Amino acid sequence: MAIQVGTNSYVDIEFADSYFSERLYADEWDNADTATKEKALITACKRIERLQFKGLKVDETQILSFPRMFPSVSAPINRERSFNLDFGIGFVVQEEVPNEVKWAQCEEALALLKYGNNTRTRLQEQGVIRVDFGSVSEEYERAGKGVNKLFSNEAYELLKPYLAGVVAIV
C-alpha cells in the first residue's frame, strides 16, 4: 500500500527525506529504497496509533489520532501555537498535526530500519528478560512494563506531552 497522508501516515516520503537531511546517523534511511521507506513510515504510524493519547480526535471521522482537541486545562504545551481555543466549549483544538508527531513518526521509522529485525528486538518483543551467549549475557526490561512501546526513545519523548497517563515536566 502506498503512503496516504491522513490515512496511513502523518508524513510523506518528501517530508521524511527533508527531516533526515538535517539529522545525524540517518544512514539506514538514506540507504533505503522508496518502497522500504514507505513500509517503515506506515509501520511507524501504526505503532504510534497503538498508543493512548490525551484528548479526542478533532473530527470523529478522521482515521488517525491527530489532530486532537483537549480540555483547555489539560492541553499539551505547543510551541508553534497551532491551536484554536473554543471558549464556548472549553476545548483547545489543534488546527493541524503537530510537528512533534510528524518528527516522531520519522524517528520511529528510522528505528525500525535500524533495530526492527535484529535478534535483540525480537527477543524483547517475545518477553525474554535474560539471554546468555556463552560467557556473555544480556538482561532486558520486562516487556509490557513501560508505557513506551516504540523502538525510538526520541519518538517517545516527542510524543510524551500528548500521551495519556504521562506527565510532562516543564
User: Each residue's pLDDT tens digit in the chain (170 positions)?
Assistant: 799 999 999 999 999 999 999 999 999 999 999 999 999 999 999 999 999 999 999 998 999 999 999 887 655 655 454 445 554 467 888 999 999 999 999 999 999 999 877 666 666 665 667 777 788 777 766 544 444 578 899 999 999 999 988 555 55
Is the residue at 99 inside a domain? Answer: yes
Report pLDDT for 135. Answer: 81
The rounded radius of gyration (Å) of the Cα atoms in the chain is: 18
pTM: 0.79
148: amino acid identity, one letter: N
Domain that holds residue 134: 13-162
Does 127 map to a domain? yes
Residue 6 inside a domain? The answer is no
Number of folded domains in the chain? 1
* Domain-located, residue 152: yes
Beta partners for 136?
133
Tell me whether residue 167 is in a domain.
no
Let me know: does 45 contact 10? Beta carbons within 8 Å.
yes
C-alpha cell at 31: 540507504
Domain annotation covers residue 1: no
Cβ–Cβ < 8 Å for 147, 163: yes
